[in-house]
Amino acid sequence: METDFNQEYSESGLTNSSDMLNLIRNMNYKAELVRAGKEMLNRHLTVETWGNLSLRDPEKGYVYLTPSAMPYDTITEEDVVVCDLDGNILEGSRKPTVEKDLHLLVYRNRPDINAIIHTHPEDSLVFGVLHQDIPAVIDEGAQSLGGTVHCAEYALPGTEQLAINTLKALGKDGMACLLANHGAICLGKDMKEAFKTGTVLEMEARIYLKALSVGKPVVLSDENVAYMRDFMLHHYGQGK
């Protein structure tokens, strides 16, 4: 690995440590996105080439996007598209995901978010097809999702209206939303948290759906949701 990096660094023509650090960062973001695409597929959060992922470098403001309609198990670092927050392509020859503008709109309005996964899941999409929100019915949902997961109004894929509807459904601090008849958007401060968001969303949707089949689910109060979300953010885990 070290030999490969040294060879790439030497061939790049970069001449100082700052340039080398930038190269390392670029390689890491691209590699992480490639890895995450395979993970999304392996976790059954999408099928075939649907869905998309992105990462934001909070230092430089660059956004790394998966390419459009390419199988996740074949994507390489060279296929990743890099742009700025205005959508200007900086690196990559591939066509970026059709939901590029959706990702960028979220990043411009949510400085707390550095990773976005657009999934096409089975369980939460049941409620997306019904155009129904998923309320907070389990503690994990309250802690990780921050309350009710709203369903964005329907708009065609890849359109500005879908991006606007998504941002509205997410609100100022929501971690996920449903896309009517389409899929879900899952956010995180990093890719690990974005996958956690997606996993908990599917868990809560599955439990809520089962509960509805046998009775009337009891929804957690706003006060308890707020307490558990704050506890997760500021007290749960080591070093807090």
pLDDT at 19: 55
DSSP string across 129-195:
HHT--B---SHHHHHHH-S-BPEEPP--TT-HHHHHHHHHHHTTT-SEEEETTTEEEEEESSHHHHH
For tokens 């309320």, name the residue: 135
User: Given 99, 140, 202, 204, which residue is catalytic?
Assistant: 99
pTM of the model: 0.86
Domains of the chain: 2-234 (3.40.225.10)
- Report which residue type is found at 210: K
Q: What is the pLDDT along the chain (240 residues), one digit of tens a residue?
A: 333 333 443 444 444 445 545 554 554 899 999 999 999 999 999 989 899 999 999 999 999 999 999 999 999 999 999 999 999 999 999 999 999 999 999 999 999 999 999 999 999 999 999 999 999 999 999 999 989 999 999 999 999 999 999 999 999 999 999 999 999 999 999 999 999 999 999 999 999 999 999 999 999 999 999 998 988 888 887 877
Which tokens sit at 126? Answer: 């049941």
pLDDT at 16: 47
pLDDT at 7: 40
Check if 99 is active-site.
yes
pLDDT at 237: 79
pLDDT at 158: 95
